[in-house]
């Protein structure tokens, strides 16, 4: 039986939590159905890389609108595996944005490739496609093999424009859609909707199922593509480069026989993660609707105030993994909100300013738009279970601080 002191402490914590609920910038949501799905997986004949993983891949591909999906252990392994599948190796030069999590660049370094950062467009915080064009025009033909655009915060990159540019210079596109399942942009010429990660314009895309993402698996990732050739490479790389196909068997080999054909990895997903992902997919659409409702309330509340918010283009379906504001006294607001149990966050410290990348020759001051954005940005609570009352509290505390600073 638990010690009475433990029970009293637990009771105190529960009362404190009810009275002073912490509002994080993002939050996972686990339901009874989620827990049942995981328990069912634990009681099944498979624990890792079984039928639920295949089911998750199929259902996720259907949700996104692509032909193939490969489930892996996390978003970073998805990036690494996709980069290898696209042929990144020693000396391969790839372009990406400095406003992202470091894994978007690190995946190329894992493959011994080289990263070049291109500054952002301050209006949408995405990689500036015109600056990419300028870089390519000023570089010798064939210098760059690919580009990793990031659908930052859930705002979709204009992949139509980027695809045209990539084709002109013979480059592949690996779309980092970790923030954007359910996001899309509409081609204003054709009227076609392009979903983030659907493979219609990028060679491959990746997703993350980290707890604060739209679909939470604890950890987990997915690579999507419409290329059968790339799909087959990814399947091989995920499981140590090993294949066990019937055509390999002959009279000297039995059912035990397998071959390691390339140097692969153990990037497999477990059945429990897949079961949780399948369950969470059931409410992915309603989650996106709620995120957009929350964003609209924030937009209205901060209109005509000192708080700067992002304005969307008319053809954009934002996925709102994050809701980002910009303020002059960011550190002071961050500290003030934290005192009031609102745990905001900063996304992101520009990757090129990290000591590791500075050791490779990147310098502060080289990406002025990204660095200016970083000085003011703050991510405030954004998740489907955020109530209107909780959001009103966040709005009130941000406004109270901002009025003091005007």
Cα–Cα dist 351/117, whole Å:
9
Reported as a pLDDT band with limits 50, 70 and 90, residue 251 is: low
Q: What are phi and psi of 114, to 5 degrees?
A: -120, 140
Does residue 317 have a pLDDT over 50?
yes
Chain centroid to Cα 339, Å, comes to 29
Does residue 403 have a pLDDT over 50?
yes
- The helix/strand count (H/E) of the chain reads as 14, 17
Percent of the chain with pLDDT over 70: 92
* Residues 269/73, Cβ–Cβ less than 8 Å: yes
Q: What are phi and psi of 396, to 5 degrees?
A: -60, -45
The model's pLDDT over 105-145, given as tens digits with 9 standing for 90+, comes to: 999 999 999 999 999 999 999 999 999 999 999 999 999 99
Cα–Cα dist 302/306, whole Å:
8
**DSSP classification of residue 150:** B
Does residue 4 have a pLDDT over 90?
no
Tokens of 270: 């477990």
Residue-level pLDDT at 15: 41
The stretches of 244-343 forming alpha helices (DSSP H) are: 271-281, 284-302, 330-339
In the Cβ-directed half-sphere of 100, how many Cα atoms lie within 13 Å? 30
Taken in order 215, 347, 323, 181, the sign of the CA dihedral is: negative
Does residue 263 have a pLDDT over 50?
yes
Residue-level pLDDT at 328: 94
Burial of 301-328, coded b for 16+ CB within 10 Å and e otherwise, reads bbeebbbebbeeeeebbbbbbbbbbbbe
pTM for this predicted structure:
0.93
Reported as a pLDDT band with limits 50, 70 and 90, residue 404 is: low
Cα–Cα dist 349/326, whole Å:
14
> 152: helix, coil or strand?
helix
Q: Domain 32-281 - what CATH class?
A: alpha beta
The model's pLDDT over 340-390, given as tens digits with 9 standing for 90+, comes to: 999 999 999 999 999 999 999 999 999 999 999 999 999 999 999 999 999
* Residues 91/111, Cβ–Cβ less than 8 Å: no
Does residue 288 have a pLDDT over 60?
yes
* Residues 47/271, Cβ–Cβ less than 8 Å: yes
- Specify the range with the lowest mean pLDDT, choosing from 125-134, 152-161, 395-404: 395-404
Residue 58: which of 72, 48, 70 has the closest Cα?
Answer: 70
CATH of the domain spanning 4-20+284-405 = 3.90.1150.10
Mean of all residue pLDDT scores within the chain? 93
Residue 80: which of 271, 248, 221 has the closest Cα?
Answer: 221
Residue-level pLDDT at 1: 43
> Which whole number is the average pLDDT over 2-6?
46
Reported as a pLDDT band with limits 50, 70 and 90, residue 406 is: very low
What are the angstrom distances between the C-alpha of 378 and each of 40, 173, 226, 295, 317? 40, 29, 36, 14, 21
Does residue 185 have a pLDDT over 70?
yes
> Which whole number is the average pLDDT over 228-249?
89
Chain region(s) in the chain for CATH 3.40.640.10: 32-281
Reported as a pLDDT band with limits 50, 70 and 90, residue 249 is: low
Cα–Cα dist 110/82, whole Å:
12
Percent of the chain with pLDDT over 90: 89
Residue-level pLDDT at 247: 67
What are the angstrom distances between the C-alpha of 364 and each of 234, 314, 371? 36, 34, 8
The model's pLDDT over 9-37, given as tens digits with 9 standing for 90+, comes to: 444 444 443 336 899 999 999 999 999 99
Residue-level pLDDT at 10: 43
Chain region(s) in the chain for CATH 3.90.1150.10: 4-20+284-405
């Amino acid at each position: 039986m638990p010690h009475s002191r433990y029970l009293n402490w637990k009771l105190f914590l529960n009362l404190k939590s009810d009275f002073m609920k912490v509002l994080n910038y993002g939050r996972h949501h686990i339901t009874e159905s989620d827990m049942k799905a995981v328990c069912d997986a634990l009681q099944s004949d498979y624990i890792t890389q079984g039928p639920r993983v295949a089911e998750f891949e199929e259902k996720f591909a259907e949700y996104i609108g692509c032909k193939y999906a490969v489930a892996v252990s996390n978003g970073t392994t998805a990036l690494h595996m996709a980069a290898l599948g696209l042929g990144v190796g020693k000396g391969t030069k790839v372009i990406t944005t400095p406003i992202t999590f470091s894994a978007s660049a690190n995946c190329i370094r894992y493959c011994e490739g080289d990263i070049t950062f291109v500054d952002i467009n301050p209006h949408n915080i995405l990689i500036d496609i015109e600056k990419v064009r300028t870089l390519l025009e000023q570089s010798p033909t064939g210098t760059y093999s690919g580009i990793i655009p990031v659908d930052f915060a859930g705002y979709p990159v204009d992949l139509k424009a980027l695809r045209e540019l990539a084709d002109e210079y013979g480059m592949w596109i690996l779309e980092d859609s970790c923030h954007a399942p359910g996001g899309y942009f509409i081609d204003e010429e054709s009227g076609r909707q392009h979903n983030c990660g659907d493979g219609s314009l990028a060679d491959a895309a990746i997703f993350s199922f980290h707890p604060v993402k739209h679909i939470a698996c604890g950890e987990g990732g997915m690579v999507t593509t419409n290329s059968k050739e790339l799909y087959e490479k990814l399947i091989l790389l995920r499981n140590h480069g090993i294949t066990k196909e019937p055509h390999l068997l002959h009279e000297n080999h039995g059912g035990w026989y397998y071959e390691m054909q390339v140097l692969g990895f153990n990037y497999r997903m477990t059945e429990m993660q897949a079961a949780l992902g399948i369950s969470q997919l059931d409410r992915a659409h309603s989650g996106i609707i709620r995120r957009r409702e929350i964003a609209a309330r924030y937009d209205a509340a901060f209109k005509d105030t000192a708080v700067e918010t992002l304005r969307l283009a008319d053809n954009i379906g934002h996925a709102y993994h994050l809701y980002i504001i910009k303020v002059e006294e960011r550190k002071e607001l961050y500290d003030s909100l934290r005192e009031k149990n609102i745990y905001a966050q900063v996304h992101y410290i520009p990757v090129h300013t990290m000591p590791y990348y500075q050791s490779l020759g990147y310098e502060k001051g080289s990406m002025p738009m990204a660095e200016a954005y970083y000085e003011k940005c703050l991510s405030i609570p954004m998740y489907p279970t955020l109530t209107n009352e909780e959001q009103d509290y966040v709005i009130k505390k941000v406004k109270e601080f901002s009025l003091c600073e005007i």
